[in-house]
Structure 1
């Protein structure tokens, strides 16, 4: 269980903010917010900093010691009282680094393995030095994967270059715990991004579950929920199995079972792109005594692929069939070939 914490701003009904609205400069909470001058509101103008220019979300002053103590008490409370497993930190890039360092010390002193995940949409190395977050929401991965598989506006070469930049931006141990998502409450549903084509989404899942990091599934994506921007992406889960895409659901379950079975499928396998055929995405994952080669044909035309000598007579763990030197891959299809070292 991971809770979502918004430590950057409060709601309009937050009692300390209401106290400032009522008492203005005489409020004991006036330094809890970034106030330019009083009164706080003049017709359509607000005299305090907000999140996203929304008057109903006043920005908290996390440099204020009282604010820090209040928020850190919240962070401790849910771990001590309910033993939660992690915190997801909203708008983390707009809160000062000093506060996040204190946040880490506080929660890790109570539960050393509590997971700290930051919402950062860009390069995140300043937060991943070992003194703040364990991981961030890997939107750089998200955007590259969606451009290639869902929108199909990126070439194999461009996709490989984008993912290589992401991997080289961070140390290996950071990449291994990156929070790799395809969609969230802030983005359109991934199937909608795929223009309703389930096969594109299946290929996306093959890549997401085999790439270095922690794959995250936004509720309902595994059974084919659709929806555009907010509020479409936040609609209720469909629990009626007759209205679910069960073929997609069992496809996801099979991928997860392979992640559990093969060490090289998971986050700690060494990842490397390979170029086997034009417009075909190929890469290997190597770990312990095995190597997996993933071959993905995003196009709608059949591809003929000459396999490397070391993958001659390899087992396709998806179809459970052996493949010789030559692989014929139809449109929107993939293969996952296994080579054992022992």
Structure 2
């Protein structure tokens, strides 16, 4: 009798599962559909105490103990949030104190605080086992101030007389010896170093720091070389000056994508506090779209390792950082480009200018609300091609409420963000009629009026992503089916109960 009861309980769930399961066709995976989790290796996870030399977690300028083994141990954590790619700060051997990886002392060795070359290989293997990709930050335009080459007379022309790094004055990059990448020997060495990491580890691409400080001729040759080693190798350039025109001028170099500094600046300033207009967001996109030879693919961020945390910006503005993050992340994950999230943003980690912004990741302090939000955003990017491949059109932008549309083939998505301190309403007309807007984040449902107008109301400081789909009305067939299953279940339980009582009496 107990077995019969169990079967009766399970049947409705099996039938319901069979009814709702749909075959999803997988589209070819491209970099356009990736989402990146960026890690400062020393500040993420200490997986091995054997390499903890001169570690001082209380000193923001010292090594804190994070290593490659620690990243391996947390790959499932990153994958659970839905990220498809991880990128690492430089792992090359550095001079003492170079926790950030930019004071390179050996371009073809792993920093001993982070582990060994074997650890780097194993990390790449473990990433690939999880159907994820990995980028290494690769430096070509400067070395640490204690690099052995500086003491070699025959390599005097390997460095430039004046260092652009000194002019930048950017934290740990300030005053570093600037490599002469026009020198054929330097060029060849860097090509071989790049080939070393590709062939030895199987890494999927490089994040190229300060790409704007190197000649376009160098990058063209560099790109051609690495793609002879791996034709699918991904090259992401970071152009520090950041304006659209300068970034666009590097498009012809063969680099596959660029980090969008204009996006970072406008999005972080816009979303750090409520009441800010959203006009600047679409303006940045329009400027990029109108620019001749504009990059085909951009990587967008809210947090960056070289600036104060977005969380700090929100707190200083007197706002709840969780609310601010949810609105900012919605735009980050639904606007054109590859979203990149700096480690710890999901906590969310606080911090001022570097190195205060690079605190140690604390896995004991988790924010389930932000974690689930990231999971949902990544899930939507995977499920709906319009979010990663579609065009991008502004439907409405007034009083802090902005609504965007993304269309790809026969799929239409609508993104609504209300950054206002009040409830806002938008009447949307440039959408297919006889359909419905179904919210994926807040579970809202909007149907058009007889005139075909979708009246969209958004509470203060909220965001939602809608899919445009046929208006189902009430699904009476499903309701009837579910009702029948429930009645069958109840009847079965009654029959079993009656038989049990009769059995007890006998």
- Structure 1 length normalisation: TM-score? 0.86
Determine the structure 1 residue equivalent to 2:308.
Answer: 188
Determine the structure 2 residue equivalent to 1:231.
Answer: 355
1:32-66 per-residue CA deviation (whole Å, 9 max, x = no partner) reads 1123xxxxxxxxxxxx5362257861111111111
Shift of 1:197: 2.3
Q: Contact 1:12 / 1:18 at 8 angstroms: preserved in 2?
A: no
CA distance 1:213–1:341, change in 2 (3 Å): farther
CA distance 1:276–1:51, change in 2 (3 Å): closer
> Which of 190, 202, 221 is the equivalent residue of 2:345?
221
Shift of 1:193: 2.0
Higher Rg: 2
Report the Cα distance in structure 2 between the residues aligned to 1:314 and 1:4, rounded to whole angstroms.
41
Higher RCO, Cα 8 Å, sep 6+: 2
1:85-135 per-residue CA deviation (whole Å, 9 max, x = no partner) reads 111111111111211111111100010111111111233112112x33111
Unaligned runs of 5+ in 2: 1-133, 448-453, 472-506
Report the Cα distance in structure 2 between the residues aligned to 1:328 and 1:96, rounded to whole angstroms.
50
- 2:324 matched to 1:200? yes
Shift of 1:257: 0.7
Report the Cα distance in structure 2 between the residues aligned to 1:145 and 1:74, rounded to whole angstroms.
36
Shift of 1:310: 3.2
Q: Contact 2:279 / 2:397 at 8 angstroms: preserved in 1?
A: no
1:183-222 per-residue CA deviation (whole Å, 9 max, x = no partner) reads 1210111222222521111011111100011111111112
CA distance 1:279–1:185, change in 2 (3 Å): closer
> Which of 140, 143, 163 is the equivalent residue of 2:265?
143
Determine the structure 2 residue equivalent to 1:317.
Answer: 440
- 2:251 matched to 1:125? no
Bigger mean CA offset, 62-71 vs 163-172: 163-172
Q: Contact 1:141 / 1:166 at 8 angstroms: preserved in 2?
A: no
Report the Cα distance in structure 2 between the residues aligned to 1:203 and 1:142, rounded to whole angstroms.
14
Unaligned runs of 5+ in 1: 20-26, 36-47
Report the Cα distance in structure 1 between the residues aligned to 2:446 and 2:223, rounded to whole angstroms.
49
Q: Contact 2:277 / 2:398 at 8 angstroms: preserved in 1?
A: no
Determine the structure 1 residue equivalent to 2:116.
Answer: none
Determine the structure 2 residue equivalent to 1:17.
Answer: 150
* Number of aligned residue pairs: 317
Determine the structure 2 residue equivalent to 1:327.
Answer: 456
Shift of 1:152: 5.8
Shift of 1:153: 8.2
CA distance 1:149–1:56, change in 2 (3 Å): closer
**Aligned CA-pair RMSD:** 2.2
Report the Cα distance in structure 2 between the residues aligned to 1:207 and 1:103, rounded to whole angstroms.
33
- 2:191 matched to 1:72? yes
- Structure 2 length normalisation: TM-score? 0.59
